[in-house]
Amino acid sequence: PAAASMAAQKRTDEMRDRVVLGEFGVRNVHTTDFPGNYAGYDDAWDQLRFEEGFRVDVIREEEGMLEFDMVGIDAAIANAFRRILLAEVPTMAVEKVFVYNNTSIVQDEILAHRLGLIPIRADPRLFEYRNQGDEEGTEIDTLQFQLKIKCSRNPQAARESSDPNELYLNHKVYSKHMTWVPLGNQTDLFPDADFRPVHDDILIALLRPGQEIDILMHCVKGIGKDHAKFSPVATASYRLLPDITLLQPVEDEAAEMLQKCFSPGVIEVQNIKGKKVARVANARLDTFSREVFRHEGLKNLVRLARVRNHFIFSVESTGILPPDVLVSEAIKILMGKCQRFLNELDSLPME
């Protein structure tokens, strides 16, 4: 009976902690650790226990890219962070385009759409949201940019040249040609500000001699829920930590076959007493192609699973704010939502 109860407990633990990948499906997909669901497990919410089990580890931080682990959290909360990053952290983007002259072949509305998608390097925390129905922007809620450029022939070009880069001047309109025009007292408000597009080399339009573009742009603060151009991230996603277990020793040809079934670096083959023996070196690198299930001799030797409460986040910023700032802003927004909910509950008269 002791062995049977041990096995039962092991099965229960697997059900609670692991999402298991089988040959034709995925088991234990749903969260099951709620109070009273399993005899002998206390799954009531306990803040101290949560604080002990919860952690965030930064794995990799590069220019505009952040990879971190969030451990000991529920999928619903992890997903809330992801969705807030995508749709509710505000940025500044071009909202109104005043076209004074546009004789290029790019139609006005296409041009305006292209300009809207250019990420603007301006800290959204310095600005207010513009009020609904405000036609004129003010210094606290609007950034103004000008784009004025005219294409002409290059008098120095060689007679027989056919290269547009040589023949014409200003024939490519880049985001670097957008210049900031301070509104009101913005020069005093932001003495050391350098408001400009994040990248200088975004191609906006092509011109030919005599064609010109003369426009003014108003950038306002907004969120991705309203329009994708306000989203501060290129991607924000998470995956569960892979967990690969070898159920019995795998040796010689089988070991080399096993190594080929997984992404590079996941399985290493060691030489022990003249025998080649496989071991799991770094499961984190695996993408779970399930290739191992195609081999009759191997498929029952391995258990593929994912750790249910270990989320590997990757956040890639568009360059407006660094990704670590975006994550902390997302956390603040979630805290604000919770606070608002609690205030609503407090203000409602209880029946």
Domains of the chain: 15-89+232-247+301-341 (3.30.1360.10), 91-230 (2.170.120.12)
What rounded mean pLDDT belongs to the chain? 93
350 has a pLDDT exceeding 80: no
Q: Any residues with CB less than 8 A from the CB of 154 and at least 6 apart, and which? A: 166, 167, 168, 169
pLDDT tens-place string over residues 14-53: 888 999 999 999 989 888 888 888 888 888 889 999 999 9
Q: What is the pLDDT of residues 50-77, one digit of tens each?
A: 999 999 999 999 999 999 999 999 999 9
Q: If DSSP codes are grouped into helix, strand and coil, which group holds residue 106?
A: coil
**What is the arithmetic mean of pLDDT over 309-326?**
96
pLDDT of 191-250, one tens digit each? 888 899 999 999 999 999 999 999 999 999 999 999 999 999 999 999 999 999 999 998
Q: Which residues of 208-243 are buried (b: 16+ CB within 10 A; e: fewer)?
A: eeebbbebebbbbbbbbeeeebbbbbeebebebbbb
pTM, two decimals, is 0.88
Mean pLDDT of the region 169-197: 93
Supply angle C-alpha 340, 54, 313, rounded to 5: 80
Task: Give the phi and the psi of residue 106 in degrees, each rounded to 5.
Answer: -85, 120
